[in-house]
Each structure stands twice: as C-alpha cells, then as structure tokens.
C-alpha cells in the first residue's frame, strides 16, 4: 500500500514508520508544522512541533530511506485546536487539546489530504491497537502498555477514519520501542517524551490563558457559608477539582482544604468546597461518536474513562431523547469537568466517546 507516515520527530512515530517500511509499503514521511513560531527550540521534555522536532523527523526519514516533506498546518491548528482550547476555558469548560488535534488535524485535515493525494492510509506512532473483525471493520483498543495507552485521545475518531489509520505500536511497550529505535540506528531512541500541552512549551497553562484572555478578577465563594473567601484573576484558569493556586484569603472554619466545585463564567465566580462535594455518580455527555460505526445495545454496561490519565469507573449508559449519553457510575468519582471526554470501553475495546456537559451527585 501507499502509506503516509506522520512523523512528529519523536521515537514512537519513527519506529512506527520503520515498521511500515519493513512491511513492504511504499512509505512517505510528513512532518506537520503546527507551531506559529517554528524557530522555537524545545524546552526540556515539554512541547513539540519545534524546529528541532522537524529536523529529527527528517533525520529519521533519511535513515529509513524514504521521501520526506513538511506540511504547514499552523493556521488550521491555531483555529481548530488553540482557539478552541481558549474558547472552552473561557466558557468554564476543560478541553483536551490532544483529542481535538487528533480529531481535527491528524485524522481530518491530514487524512483528507493524504486520500486526495492517493495514499491508502496514514500511519502514526500512537500507542493503541486496531483489531479488524470478520466484516473488515476496525475496532480501536487499548495498547499493551497501560502507562502509554492513547486510545482515550483517539476515541473521537469515526469508523470511517479508522479504516485509513495504522497504529503499529499497539503491541509494544515504550521501553521496547526505544530499544528497537536504538537497534535501527535512529538518533531519537533516547529523546524525551513530550509532556503537557504542545503549544504551551513552558507548561504554564494559566499564564498562557491570561495572555489570551487578560485579567478578569472575580470572587471565590465558599459553597457552605456563601462567603467570599478569595479573589481570582480569571475564572478561565481553573478546572473542577483543582486545589492548588486558589490562594484563599479567608480561612475556612472547619480547616478542611477547599477544591473548585463549579466555574461560572457569566458571573465570573468560582465556588469552592470540601472534597466530599466533588463526588459525582451521574454524567451527561453530548455528541457521542461510535468508533465501531454503530451504537451498542442500550442499556449498556462496561467501563468508562473520564480523563486522559485516570478517571476509570464501572458504569451503565443510556441515550436520552436528545441523543445525549446518560452515564451512571457504579462508584462515585471526583474532579469530573465539563468539556472533558468520556470514553466507553468493553474490556479493552473502545466502544465510543462523548463530551461531558454535566456531572451530578
């Protein structure tokens, strides 16, 4: 097959590309230039999409002996990922930009262009499995490496998009990927993983949001007493379940730590309370996507994941009259924020995903 390999400049995408070459495919490498400041250099293990990453991807392509190109998608990345990220926080929600990037950039813009250019599939270094059933339908599943599994951030993909995707690393741990890269002579074998949000290279999310939205001082209110216990510089900088950074001016009588319970962007108010008040047992989620192409039989029961790292719970699910998912958690969970994705799993197979709109006790 004619394969387009998305090469980020990291070790995972380099090894995934190498495996596609070994399988006998006609492979072309492409690096996505997503940063609007490509002259920036990498800050430790934070961020990606820097000029160094582009050079690392090109070197890997040279070692593998494949053609290599750079596609400038910075403007679309700004519109579909960065602007969406800022708008979601401004609305009091907590988005996942990696999930949006997979949905709008890597498996929409890139896949559409690849198909238009005659490529049969796009290969990436994501740690996830694609299992094909007897009908030829691909099913997304967890990686064998639980610590590196990325099925959660891929769960927004449709069955049609998955038909043209390849994830060669789903059966390989990160340690094994690095060892293989070293054996192949790839210079990225020991390159640190990127962390945090790729377009916030210094890891200061609050500072980034302030630079985009400005200072918006408002009250921090205690849920029990109704009293103002502090002031914030922008409700957009907080998320449900957050404890650090509140800097409450007035001590609370019971001496218990306070967490963010709700964010009200219209009133520019944050409500805080005790950890017990974070417990939720019911989650409502919008715009479900079924990665296998069809919805499961309802009522459904399985496991849901509500954060990229953690937030696992046994649950049931039904569909309401408006097409929203109504999820009942069999054990309560904390820190579930609107804007995050909830992903449904049947054992290790992804059933589908939706965007959390509300969570209740």
Ramachandran quadrant class, 316 (left: phi over 0; alpha: psi -120 to 50; beta: rest): beta
pLDDT on residue 150: 95
Active site residues: 101, 198
Alpha helices (runs of H) in 151-270, residue ranges in sequence order = 151-154, 159-162, 174-183, 205-213
Q: Which CATH number fits domain 278-360: 2.160.10.10, 3.40.50.2300, 2.40.30.10, 1.20.200.10?
A: 2.40.30.10
Q: Say if residues 79 and 46 touch (Cβ distance below 8 Å).
A: no
* Closest to 97 measured CA to CA, from 119, 114, 80: 80
Q: What is the pLDDT along the chain (361 residues), one digit of tens a residue?
A: 999 999 999 999 999 999 999 999 999 999 998 876 544 444 444 445 677 888 999 999 999 999 999 999 989 999 999 999 999 999 999 999 989 998 999 888 899 999 999 999 999 999 999 998 888 889 999 999 999 999 999 999 999 999 999 999 999 999 999 999 999 999 999 998 876 688 887 778 888 999 999 999 999 999 988 899 999 999 998 999 999 888 887 666 667 889 999 999 989 999 999 999 999 999 999 999 999 889 999 999 999 999 888 878 999 999 999 999 999 999 999 989 999 999 999 999 999 999 999 999 8
Counts for the chain of helices (H) and strands (E), in that order: 10, 17
Distance CA 205, CA 202 (A): 8
Cα 141 to chain centroid distance, Å, stands at: 16
Query: What is the DSSP secondary structure assignment for residue 295, as one 8-state letter?
Result: P
pLDDT on residue 49: 62
Place of tokens 């293990």: 45
Domains in the chain: boundaries? 2-125+168-190, 215-276, 278-360
Prior bond to 93 cis, omega within 30? no
Considering the segment(s) 215-276 as one domain, its CATH architecture is Roll (2.30)
pLDDT on residue 253: 65
CATH code for the structural domain at 2-125+168-190:
3.40.50.620
């Amino acid at each position: 097959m004619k394969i387009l390999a998305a090469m980020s400049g990291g070790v995972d995408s380099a090894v995934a590309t190498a495996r596609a070459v070994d399988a006998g495919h006609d492979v072309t490498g492409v690096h996505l230039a997503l940063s609007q400041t490509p002259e920036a250099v990498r800050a430790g293990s934070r961020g990606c999409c820097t000029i160094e990453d582009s050079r690392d991807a090109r070197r890997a392509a040279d070692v593998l002996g494949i053609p290599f190109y750079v596609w400038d998608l910075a403007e679309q990345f700004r519109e579909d990922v960065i602007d969406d990220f800022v708008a979601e926080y401004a609305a009091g929600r907590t988005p996942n930009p990696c999930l949006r990037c997979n949905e709008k950039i890597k498996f929409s813009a890139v896949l559409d262009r690849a198909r238009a250019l005659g490529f049969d599939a796009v290969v990436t270094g994501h740690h996830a499995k694609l299992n094909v059933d007897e009908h030829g339908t691909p099913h997304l599943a967890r990686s064998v490496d639980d610590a590196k599994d990325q099925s959660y951030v891929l769960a927004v993909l449709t069955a049609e998009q998955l038909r043209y995707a390849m994830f060669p690393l789903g059966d390989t741990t990160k340690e094994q990927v690095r060892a293989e890269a070293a054996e192949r002579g790839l210079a990225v074998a020991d390159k640190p993983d990127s962390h945090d949000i790729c377009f916030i290279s210094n890891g200061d999310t609050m500072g980034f949001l302030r630079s985009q939205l400005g200072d918006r001082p408002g009250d921090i209110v205690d849920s029990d007493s109704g009293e103002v216990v502090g002031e914030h510089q922008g409700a957009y900088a907080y998320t449900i379940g957050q404890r650090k950074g509140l800097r409450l001016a007035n001590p609370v009588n019971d001496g218990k730590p306070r967490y963010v319970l709700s964010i009200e962007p219209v009133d520019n108010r944050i409500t805080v309370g005790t950890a017990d008040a974070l417990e939720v047992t019911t989650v409502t989620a919008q715009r479900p996507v079924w990665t296998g192409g069809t919805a499961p039989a309802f009522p459904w029961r399985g496991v849901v994941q509500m954060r990229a790292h953690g937030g696992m719970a046994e649950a049931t699910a039904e569909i309401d009259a408006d097409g929203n998912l109504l999820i009942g958690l069999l054990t309560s969970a904390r820190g579930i924020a609107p804007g995050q994705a909830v992903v449904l799993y049947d054992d290790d197979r992804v059933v589908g995903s939706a965007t959390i709109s509300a969570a209740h006790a």
